[in-house]
Amino acid sequence: MKKLYPKGNISILFIALFIAFGVTNTQAQTSDSLYKPEREFKNTIRFNATNPLIFGGKSLIFGYERILKHNRSFSINIGQAALPNFENGFSDEFRSKTVLSQGGFHISGDYRFYLSKLNKYNAPRGVYIGPYYSYNRFSKGHDWEYKKDETSAPKTINSDLSLKIQQIGFELGYQFVFWKRFSVDLVLMGPGVAAYKVKATAEGNLSDSEREEFFENLNEALKEKFPGYGGTIGENADGEFEKNGSASTTSLGFRYMINVGYRF
């Protein structure tokens, strides 16, 4: 009986199968070596775009966010702060002349929980909640002109203001991520408790009633810029207004901002 496969043909068949297996294995290894998992960006540097709009161009605050887990992060913000021009908050009798000096400092931080049940993607994209703390310190020296009416002679007021605000609360926000690298972070709501400590001086040839009027205008201007502020500066224990006024108060505070960031 003749053999169906001669010995030489069998050897050639094994060699062909060995070569084919080797080529397939090499291609598989090459494909695996070329595959690279998507890069994960855990850091974000950002700029607070809200503060310059509210407090002026000298209020510049930068921040940093670090991803801890797929749904958690912490962030810190630091920078210079400045009080706005209060002229719009004063009555027509007071006119701003010269800003003699101004300065300030801001630092804040939060711990964020990105809600996995609501978010399709991992942090830092989507809805988040978490506690926050912030500290602001402001100072401003100002020259004013006071004129009761057109017939009266103008008077000069030199004022100095020092304001410190500490706030703690709970925030709700949403962060967008564009093209993997760029982010827009919206703090939509941040109710909390704020402690205000303010001190002001008003020097000049003013009567007691005129000085009282100045402090009342200053209080209203602070309330306009800082929602929740309820202090009354300038009034002593007897209910009389002085050259120097100070107040400490605790009330409700708010937190809202827009941050523009870059991830790396």
- Do residue 22 and residue 51 come from a single domain? no
Q: 163 and 231, same structural domain? A: yes
204 and 84 together in one domain = yes
Q: Which residue has the higher pLDDT, 160 or 225?
A: 160
CA dist 16 and 5 (Å) reads 15
Q: Are residues 76 and 30 in the same domain?
A: no
Range of the domain at 31: 1-36
Please check whether residues 18 and 65 belong to one and the same domain.
Answer: no
- Containing 255, the helix (H) or strand (E) segment is none
Let me know whether 189 and 234 are in one domain.
Answer: yes
Nearest to 54 by CA among 248, 227, 230, 228: 227
- 22, pLDDT greater than 90: no
**Residue 164 vs residue 4, higher pLDDT:** 164
Q: What is the pLDDT of residue 83?
A: 85
Residues 23 and 57 in one domain: no
* pLDDT confidence of residue 125: 94
Do both 125 and 208 map to the same domain?
A: yes
Write the CB contacts of 49 (distance below 8 Å, at least 6 apart in sequence): 257, 258, 259, 260
pLDDT in tens, 105-146: 999 999 999 999 999 999 999 999 999 999 999 999 989 989
Predicted confidence at residue 158, as pLDDT, reads 92
Same domain, 18 and 115: no
Q: Specify whether 19 is located in the same domain as 119.
A: no
Higher-confidence residue of 182 and 24: namely: 182
- Please give the Cα distance from 166 to 248 (Å, whole number): 11
Structural domains in the chain (count): 2
Range 132-161 average pLDDT: 90
What local confidence, expressed as pLDDT, does residue 231 receive? 66
Per-residue pLDDT for 28 more than 80? no
pLDDT digits (tens, 9 = 90+) for 204-257: 888 888 888 888 888 888 888 887 777 667 655 544 445 566 667 677 777 889
Q: How many CB atoms lie within 10 A of CB 175?
A: 24
Same domain, 16 and 51: no
In this predicted structure, the answer to whether residue 25 has a pLDDT above a threshold of 70 is no
Quick one: 88 and 215 in the same domain? Answer: yes
**Global pTM?**
0.77
Mean pLDDT of 171-177: 96
What pLDDT sits at residue 60?
Answer: 94
**Predicted confidence (pLDDT) at residue 12 exceeds the cutoff of 60:** no
What's 74's domain CATH number? 2.40.160
What DSSP assignment string belongs to 96-111? EEEEEEEEEEEEEEEE
Highest averaged pLDDT of the listed ranges 126-130, 148-152, 153-157, 214-218 = 126-130
